[in-house]
Structure 1
C-alpha cells in the first residue's frame, strides 16, 4: 500500500505541488532520456490520482477515473471545493433560520449546534485585504450571530434576551 502513497520528494515535484504541471517536453536530452522522464512523470501523476482516490469519499473518488493527470484532478477539486457555493450557503442559512432551542436542550448544546453552522458559513466569506475591514466585519458577524442566537432561544429566556440586547458593549457570541 505504501507504494501507492506519494513520497515527499514525489509530492514536491508533482504536477500539483510546485513541480511541472504539464507533460515534460524535449530539451537537449536524448529521446531515451525524455521517454524515461515522461514515464516517471506519468507514474507519479497516476500515483497521486490513486492517492486522491484512496483518501476521499466514494462520491468523490469515482470522478478520478476521468483524469489523465494529477493536475487535472487537482484543478477540478480546487475549483469545486474552494469556490463559493450559493446553494450551500442557502441551505445553511435556512437551517439557521429554522433553528430553535428544543425544550430539553441546554444552552451550551444549542450554541454548539449554531456555532457549527456559523463555522460552515465562514468558509464562504470573501478574503479580506485590509485588516481594518476584517476587524469591522468580524464585529458585525459576531453581532449577527448573537442576534440569531437570542432569537432562537426558548421563550422563557425573554428577560435575559432583553437584558443582553440593552448592554453596552454587547457580549461576544463566542
Structure 2
C-alpha cells in the first residue's frame, strides 16, 4: 500500500536512547497512519516474483515495496539523535532496524518503569 502523504511525516518525540517506549508509541501511530506498519511487523515482505507474473508488474511491486521501506527508514532516522542513528549502518530493511531497536532498547529495569509511568501520565491524563 502506498503511503498517504497528506499526513504529517514526522513525530514530535526524538528518540535519544532513554525514551524508547514513548518514541515507539508515536512511531507506531505514524507508521499506521501511512499504512506502513506491516513493514516493521514483517507482514509486508520483500516481494518475490510469481511464476505467472510478468517482469513489469513485478518491478512495479518491488519498486513500491522499496519506496515504502525507505520511507520508514527515513522516518526512523529523522526521529532519532545522531548518537542513535549512527548505529543504523547495515540495516537495509525497516523490519530489521525496528527489531534491532526493540531488542537494544527494551528493558525491564527502573528506567523502563519510569517511561511507562510518564507515558501513562502524559498520554492518558487529561489536562
TM-score by length of structure 1 reads 0.42
Deviations 1:63-119 (A, max 9, x none): 2232111111111111111245xxxx5xxxxxxxxxxxxxxxxxxxxxxxxxxxx5x
Calculate the aligned-residue CA RMSD, in Å.
Answer: 3.0
Distance in 2 separating the partners of 1:121 and 1:40: 36
**C-alpha deviation, 1:37, in angstroms:** 0.7
The equivalent of 1:171 in structure 2 is: none
User: Which residue of 53, 73, 79 maps to 1:49?
Assistant: 73
Distance in 1 separating the partners of 2:91 and 2:62: 17
**C-alpha deviation, 1:35, in angstroms:** 0.8
The equivalent of 2:96 in structure 1 is: 72
Aligned pairs (5 A) from 1:124-135 = none
Report whether the alignment pairs 1:10 with 2:35. Answer: yes
The equivalent of 1:160 in structure 2 is: none
Question: Structure 1, unaligned stretches of length 5 or more?
Answer: 90-117, 124-174
Aligned pairs (5 A) from 1:75-94 = 75-83=99-107
User: Which residue of 44, 48, 67 maps to 1:25?
Assistant: 48
The equivalent of 2:64 in structure 1 is: 40
**C-alpha deviation, 1:8, in angstroms:** 2.5
Report whether the alignment pairs 1:58 with 2:82. Answer: yes
The alignment covers a number of residue pairs equal to 88
Q: Which runs of 4+ in 1 moved over 6 A?
A: none
Contact 2:39 2:69 (C-alpha < 8 Å) held by counterparts = yes
Distance in 2 separating the partners of 1:23 and 1:9: 18
Contact 1:16 1:74 (C-alpha < 8 Å) held by counterparts = yes
Report whether the alignment pairs 1:122 with 2:113. Answer: yes
Greater relative contact order (CA < 8 Å, ≥ 6 in sequence): 2
**C-alpha deviation, 1:122, in angstroms:** 3.1
